[in-house]
Amino acid sequence: MPKKPLSYLLIPLLACIWGSSFILMKRGMFTADGMPVFSAEQVASIRISLASIVFLPLLPRLLKNKHFKSDIPFFMIVGWGGNLIPAFLFTYAEQSLDSAIAGIMNSFTPIFTILIGYLIFKSSISTQQIIGTLIGFIGISWLISLSNPATGHFQIAPALAILLATLLYGISLNTIKHKLNKYNSIEIATGGFTMALLPALIGYFIFETPAVFKNNTMAISSFKYVAILGLVGTAFAVIIFNRIIAQTTAVAASTVTYFIPIIAVAIGIAAGELFIWQQLIAMFVIISGVLLVNLKFKKANI
């Protein structure tokens, strides 16, 4: 099978994995009946630590690459901006946002991908993509302004945290495509997570994660969700994602976020999260903007 068709077939698989990540974060922090287990910082630390340890045995091979030392800053951008920092931002946001809303807002990644490509990497941008970006911003602004059906309050700070995470994703995606395209997907994941391992491990102990295992009877149950999140939803998924980027474009790869909110919403509703019709319309406004941005991605050459 040709490489590009195979990569596009991987996008729905990746969407299913990442679409379920939001409820896994929530279940890592809270039991099904809302009792707290791990904190947001602890979940993020465990997640990135587990994913990074998976790639540690592959590091010696990467170190033999003659380009690795000069590319360390780019691997750090990918490791920190594409994995470490967003992991903390999303768990922070999901302390008060439903996993379905987090999944919807994650769909803004392609818009930041196109903007970063234009502003930093001098990729072209069309009028249609500018209009799509504005529509996406309108949808996001509307979603942020809506009250949480459970609390009745606006959720501005958590929403902005997710927007920052998607901005970092956009930077990471472009860095992979433009600066690390000489490496394969596993090498990129290895280099990125190597940069994230030490701060994640430091966070694991600074945030007193071992104490939760010792004192909370639900710790093992919640840890299972975080382990799936770290090993499948992070380590395995990043390899797939990097392969898609390498064989297509950064923007084309980011279109996986079309499907993520649909899956995240379906799982969230099944898990008992509240969802109002205005949020559903806002989701489709956002996706419409993202779709308009990506209709010209071949010409954008990102």
Measured in whole angstroms, the distance separating CA 95 from the mean position of its chain's CA atoms is: 17
d(CA 194, CA 79): 7
pLDDT of residue 109: 84
pLDDT of residue 297: 45
- Reply yes or no on whether the pLDDT at 150 is more than 60: no
Number of neighbouring beta carbons within 10 Å of residue 184: 14
How does 160-178 read in b/e, with b if 16+ C-beta sit within 10 Å? ebbbebbbbbbbbbbbbbb
Read off φ and ψ for residue 36, nearest 5 degrees. -70, 145
Which of residues 36 and 148 earns the better pLDDT score?
36
In this prediction the pTM is 0.86
pLDDT of residue 4: 56
d(CA 26, CA 14): 19
d(CA 117, CA 298): 13
- Reply yes or no on whether the pLDDT at 134 is more than 80: yes
pLDDT of residue 299: 45
pLDDT of residue 1: 44
Q: Give 180-226 pLDDT, tens digit per residue.
A: 989 988 999 999 999 999 999 999 999 999 999 999 999 999 999 99
282 and 143 Cβ atoms separated by less than 8 Å: yes
Residue 151 — very low, low, confident or very high, per pLDDT cuts 50/70/90? low
Burial of 64 (0-12, 13-18, 19+ CB in 10 A): exposed
- Reply yes or no on whether the pLDDT at 88 is more than 80: yes
236 and 159 Cβ atoms separated by less than 8 Å: no
Number of domains in the chain: 1
Q: Which residues constitute the domain of residue 111?
A: 3-300
Which of residues 90 and 185 earns the better pLDDT score?
90
Name the token pair of 184: 């394969």
Q: How does the average pLDDT of the chain come out, rounded?
A: 85
